[in-house]
A and B are shown apart, each in its own frame.
Chain A
Amino acid sequence: MLDLFSIFSKGGIVLWCFQSTSDIFSPSVNSLIRNVILQERSGNNSYNHNALTLQYKLDNEFELVFVVAYQKILQLSYVDKFLNDIHLEFRDKYKNDLQGGHYITDFDFKTTFENVLRQCEQWAKSQAKIPKQMRTFEDSLKSKKTVASMIERKGDEKNKKSVKIVENKSIANGKVEEPVDTDDDLIAANRAKLAQKLATKGKKDVKKSPKSPTNANKVVDRTKKPRVWELGGDSRDLPSLDFSTDKEGDVEVAADTQLIGQMTGAIRDLEVESEESSSEEEVEQGKPSPKKSGGMFSIFKGLVGSKALTEETMRPVLDKMRDHLIGKNVAADIANKLCDSVSTKLDGKVLGTFDSVAKTVKATLTESLMQILSPKRRVDILRDCLHAKQQGRPYVMSFCGVNGVGKSTNLAKICFWLIENDLSVLIAACDTFRAGAVEQLRTHTRRLDALHPPQAHGGRRMVHLYEKGYGKDAAGIAAEAIRFAADSKIDIVLIDTAGRMQDNEPLMRALAKLIKVNEPDLVLFVGEALVGNEAVDQLVKFNQALADHSSSSNPHVIDGIVLTKFDTIDDKVGAAISMTYITGQPIVFVGTGQTYTDLKALNANAVVHALMK
């Protein structure tokens, strides 16, 4: 069932290989290495390439990689277990060779491999045969929901997310409307509610924290809201909460049990996320490397000699590193993924005598950050411009981004840099929406013209502006501008687009159309360095829009990033990491001010140094 199983060293030499078909798997494995392992996305360990799914496991002690490839349509459940077992078998059998670094011996592994594979397949079959246990009520999700949230009403579908907030808001209304029939019943009901409220006050803080980051992005209503109590339910629950018609003696007891049932439901509702995540952590804890140093001398073994890194030992250090990164303005998601990939990289690694866990983790994290910031392709705009000039067509760069990040300012700075290097530029004013956009570009053109007059460049005018006023179609203007540049033998075209929010679907579609129709050589995303978690959302949605609305199978997504307002952040440079991690594209320009000379290139060393300080 497995198409490929291969063991190779991190230096690239294959130790042992099994292929069941005669296809060539090197492109798939190379692509796995390039896209997953080297891009620090080793948190999830399955990867799809063409029609294959690849899963891998790293051995950090002997610097090996175990890779399994199978057809994507098959869904093999035993691959994780198989990788673990075969890893142990191989390591036990060839420990001496591996420790000496003898990768070029003939490993006779076929029989062991077949045995392990057969065992895993049988295990999978037996697992499939066990009749699926029915979940108990406590395990199911239903017990964790409130009664109210399960009542389906028309018109509720579109507000599913804010159901909880709506419920809470109208509890006050519910309380006010509750008819006061008898004083006794009211007092009893209120006393019960008071008891519950006091009991859950402690839990309220725990509940608030996991919810607050996800609520941050929702629209915050600034009007005065009625106080919300966590006794779930709204005015529709009134009949069940109304105990005034019940018998006297049993009222309290009945109320208590009913309320308790609802309360725990409400609390669990908000805690669902944190519980699931904590259970995931426990699952991860469950599979550490099986090295356990026991016995009397384990203390001494920790001081002298080698100790292997495990999840538990690395966890406190990684948590501290994660908080440090988030404090430096790296998006929370990205910091999480980075720490996960560092722990995968170091799991099972043997430390030297004087290395501490913290130092090793910090060094690996620094290495990963350097790797992320190193460009994965050549960044030399001038050379590409010359190349396009040789081919007799203009080099087209387009700038996109949300509102107010500095697209027009940085476009002018880049224009200045290009003119200084003796290349003529045409600025296409495709921002036909914002008032004053065209005038702004006209002012820049005039100033640049004054700085580099045609006399200084052999009678050739270096900056041109192509504009068609306001209200017209941006894609059309860009197409005309490129044609004009080709006719007038202008070297470069810079397209300035209007700022748009990533959620605005019609505008994203218009941007995608502009890119699709004009096919620029470079699509630059302009992002400001002040942005925090928003960077992730912006980039993902921009890339998604460009990919979705392009009709070709190979859509032209964002090619590079311009990081602006870099002078406003001192050393909270995390936005650079977030942006490069999400797209995988290099940071081409860095804007550090508002004059024409405030344009720099990114220095990866300095940024990583500032991040880890």
Chain B
Amino acid sequence: MESESEVIKEKIHTDPILNDPRYITLLSVVLLLVTLVFWWCFSRRRSLRNSVLLTGLSDAGKTLLFVRLVYSQYRQTFTSMKANIEEYITSNNTLRIVDLPGQERLRNKFFDQYKNSAKAIVYVVDSVTIQKEIRDVAEYLYTILVDPVIQSNCPPLLILCNKQDQPMAKGSQVIRSLLEKEINLVRVTKSSQLQATDSSQSSNTYLGKLGKEFEFSHLSCSVELLESSASTGDDDNPTDIKALQDWISNL
């Protein structure tokens, strides 16, 4: 009986430390700080920009480029319906390569989904059919450049002239001048488009300098043009994606 009461008395003696209000507040503050730190790290990780987006018109060769880049193999491809995402390890860092579908109905949805995490954008262009499709190519490129998220983050943009192994492929200088002339016209027509029925999204930015012909050097984001060829690769025309790989490594 006495030992019991002694044990109880001891317990009562040891309890005050935990009952001390200062101790409790200290503990809760520490816990709160730890939670905040974790949450901050987590959200920062999520909004970290570490993806390279491969986008462009349908049938430009994005999925094959993706397979070549990430797996170094050749696979037959069809029109993509979903994005392909893989980790890609370069000498400096680890990036995520995201291959977005180019289909007209899907491209805006997927682009909006991944544009926040874009560290760099690769706009793939089919060098053979660029002359015929120049208006579509320029319109999509204009949409990307005018996008508010892209304007604020300003990721470096690479215009990749793909399918260079074909005999009728145009060179990057020709494509640069074609695109600049076309965007010169498109920026005027697009900014005089009708307002939407629910006028919540209307961006009134004007690309380039007013009064002067549009050039890529006028833009605040860095724009480069490179050539590549991703197809089967026989001895005459070997697969050449070295330019793309170097550019990605230099990010």
Identify the A interface with B (CB < 8 A).
Answer: 8-14, 17, 26, 29-30, 33-34, 37-38, 63, 65, 104, 367, 370-372, 374-378, 380, 382-383, 386-387, 417, 420-421, 566, 589-590, 592, 599-603, 605-607
Contacts and interface: CB of A to CB of B under 8 A. Distances in A.
A599 B103 contact: no
Given A378-B135, A383-B185, A11 B71 contact: no
B48 interface: no
15 contacts: A8-B78, A13-B84, A14-B75, A29-B78, A33-B78, A371-B106, A374-B104, A376-B105, A380-B139, A383-B135, A386-B189, A387-B135, A601-B194, A601-B197, A603-B201
Contacts of B200: 603, 606
Contact of A104 (B71, B101, B104): B71
A527 B99 CA distance: 38
A386 B190 CA distance: 12
Contacts of B193: 380, 382, 601
A14 B197 contact: no
A10 B106 contact: no
Nearest to B142: A380
Given A380-B186, A380-B189, A12 B104 contact: no
Interface string B31-71: 00000000000000000000000000001000100010001
B195 A600 contact: yes
Contacts of A599: 194
A377 B190 CA distance: 15
Most chain B CB neighbours (cut-off 10 Å) among A34, A383, A417: A383
Contact of A603 (B73, B190, B197): B197
B78 A12 contact: yes
Interface in B68-118: 71, 73, 75-84, 99, 101, 103-106, 108-109
Contacts of A380: 135, 139, 186, 189-190, 193
Contact of A11 (B83, B185, B194, B201): B83
A21 to B, nearest CB: 15
A387 B192 CA distance: 16
B213 interface: no
Interface string B126-166: 00000000011001000000000000000000000000000
B10 interface: no
A513 B84 CA distance: 48
B198 interface: yes
Interface string B163-202: 0000000000000000000000110011011111111110
A11 B103 contact: no
Given A38-B103, A38-B105, A12 B195 contact: no
A-B pairs with the 7 shortest C-beta distances? A606-B198, A12-B80, A603-B196, A382-B189, A11-B84, A10-B82, A374-B105
Contacts of A566: 197
A605 B2 CA distance: 78
Given A11-B84, A421-B192, A566-B197, A33 B79 contact: yes
Nearest to A421: B192
A106 to B, nearest CB: 10
A592 B197 contact: yes
Nearest to B80: A12
A606 B78 contact: no
Given A14-B77, A104-B73, A600-B195, A376 B190 contact: no
A380 B135 CA distance: 10
Contacts of A30: 59, 78-79
B192 A12 contact: no
A563 B71 CA distance: 48
A600 B201 CA distance: 13
Nearest to B71: A104
Most chain B CB neighbours (cut-off 10 Å) among A12, A14, A29, A378: A12
